[in-house]
Structure 1
Amino acid sequence: MRHFSPSDPTPRDLGFAMPPEWAAHAATWMSWPANDDLWFGHLAGVREEYAELVRTIARFEPVELLVRDEESEADARKRLGDLAAFAFPVTLHRVPLDDVWVRDNGPIFVRDAGGRVSLVNWRFNAWGGKFEWQHDDRVPEYVAAHLRLPHWDRPEVLEGGGLEVNGAGVGLTTRSCLLTPTRNPGLTELDYAGRLRETLGVEKLLWLDGGLENDHTDGHIDTITRFTDEQTVVTSVAGDEADANHPVMAKNLAELRGMTDRHGQPFRVVELPLPATRLEGAEGRLPPTYANFYIGNGFVVVPLYGDPNDARALEVLRPLFPGREVIGLSSRKIIEGGGSFHCMTQQQPAGTLWTGE
């Protein structure tokens, strides 16, 4: 299995780019929750919500589920029941893990115009060294080895939740995340633009300033603003002007309305409410958001919190995904860990696995 380094031909050189999430999937990769300390005593409830997420995705596409040890595997099998009963296969892989956030520590897949699929392995350091990360940083290598994929190894830290793409050459990110000195000290906006162009096919990189209050990712884009098609962006707004999130979200909204695609065309910008109720956790305010939805084959799964705005969020999102079933699932326990469904999933695009030739 070949490892391509930064001195080798880049993905862009060979015609690879990151497809949008709504493109067809071969599977969804996930990691079973395991550490009760990281969930502040809520692990049992988290696992119940997580099992429902796995069951829902497996109605529509295969799930490749990483489990870190014997206890996790036994718990997953018990909660999920008969794996053969799902519409699509759920395959368990015993892999050392630190946490559940495979969106950020997993690989980012790329595909070329002929449908060949490979991946890029970025470094992961738990959002600037906030938690343990050594096991999670090795997950992309496990996935590559399992799929026998030649792939690219990058020296930079990059989390999948920190980048949105529209499938037409546009990427969207936040300064509060990518420009932190604990990720890639010294890298500028221009540096990132160049690297993401060569690795993921992002020809135009757009920047918002920041994300939600007390988000330990430093403001991942996937918690606030998402592409739903090439020309449509849905972005979080706070209804309460006294809320610390209000001015940040209002500024993002205004900036998005002035942004254009690669051809100078403005985006359609749709407002998505944040949950109305302030949630507190063990380490202060929690960052619940409806923008952390996951798009799969024929479905979109949206986190809900038992909040007055739950129904409104689903009303906003359903028309944006014609032909897909928009499903709301509880994420009230999961949000205690700081993220939700998009953070817990990583799509493998449909296509032919690349042989390196």
Structure 2
Amino acid sequence: MPTNLTTSANHTAQHSETNYNFPALIFGILLIVVIICGNLLVCLSVYKEKALKTTTNYFIVSLAVADLLLAVLVLPLFVYAEFQDGVWSLNMTICDGLMTMDVMLCTASIFNLCAISIDRFIAVSVPLNYNRKHVDQRQIVLLSATWILALAVASPVLFGINNVPNRDHSECKLENNNYVVYSSVCSFFVPCPIMLLLYCGIFQGLRRWEEARKAKLKSSTQACQKFEEPPASLPPLACLPPPLPPVIENDFTDFNLKETNQDPVPDSPYTIECKNGPVASLTFSDSGYNQDQNQEKKRAKINGRERKAMRVLPVVVGAFLFCWTPFFVVHTMRALCEDCDIPSSLISIVTWLGYVNSAINPIIYTVFNTEFRKFFRNFLPKCC
């Protein structure tokens, strides 16, 4: 959500000779192509692949749509301005429309990242009430709120907050510094802590579930061993069959996270099967959970799926903070401290970095997903 689409801090007059920035043009075109291709593939894969029609992926599609619109409606004009060394040569009506779309779509992209964290937190915290296959009312409200709030943050530009006296027509930027601070707080400084807190909650929830699972599996293993041990009070008789061989302990300490084409169903923390010799199957369950066995299996299945997200969370949070924190810090400082001399090159770099996040998002949210990778492997060779 750039507050300044130019690489120059101040232009006092139109440049008589424009210095064309060809590196910015080349990089901008490549960035637009990557964003469009990556996010189109995400939308297409969810549309065509039945296995990908899940609620979490619908949030990812919403994120992809925001990034896709950003690449189509905002980046071409931004790259055009950068190519002309930061000089805005179009009229101010186009500039205000560009600022409105820029603020809205960048905010929507960030809000969608926050919505995905909320969705995953619900899936871990209340898995029995989480509908994975169909979008329920709660998720519809969350998706709608993402776009409505993004539009609300951008609406002041649409209603003329940029129309200030003595406006420099050689620049295209947000003219009201108070609005810059307001939009930065709404678009980043509020969603970012919420996202971090939710991901911390996800880590803690998965850790508690993992500890409970290991403890239950350990107790079940000990129960199997105790069951197969001959009673100490009865001496062995020659007429009796030999005692069962020792139980071979399974290693339950390291859950196999290797993805398959179907959702993994981890061992339930409430049951274990002892298979050995002539005994085909021995199952030990807590009597208190017998009547809720199906619910516990569902809980184990959902939590097992969400455990795989633990590998992705540091990448998600790290990429988000890396791309957006410099941008909002620099532009907020620039709005609060009008006398501060912030290099124009720094403003340009942090602005590009924020846009790069739209190219990274589809990579992060699909490269770790088996179904997405399978679709890409089948689709890309046919397409090429």
Q: TM-score range by the shorter chain?
A: under 0.3
Greater Rg over alpha carbons, structure? 2
TM-score of the two chains, using structure 2 as the length reference: 0.20
TM-score of the two chains, using structure 1 as the length reference: 0.21
| Larger strand fraction of residues | 1
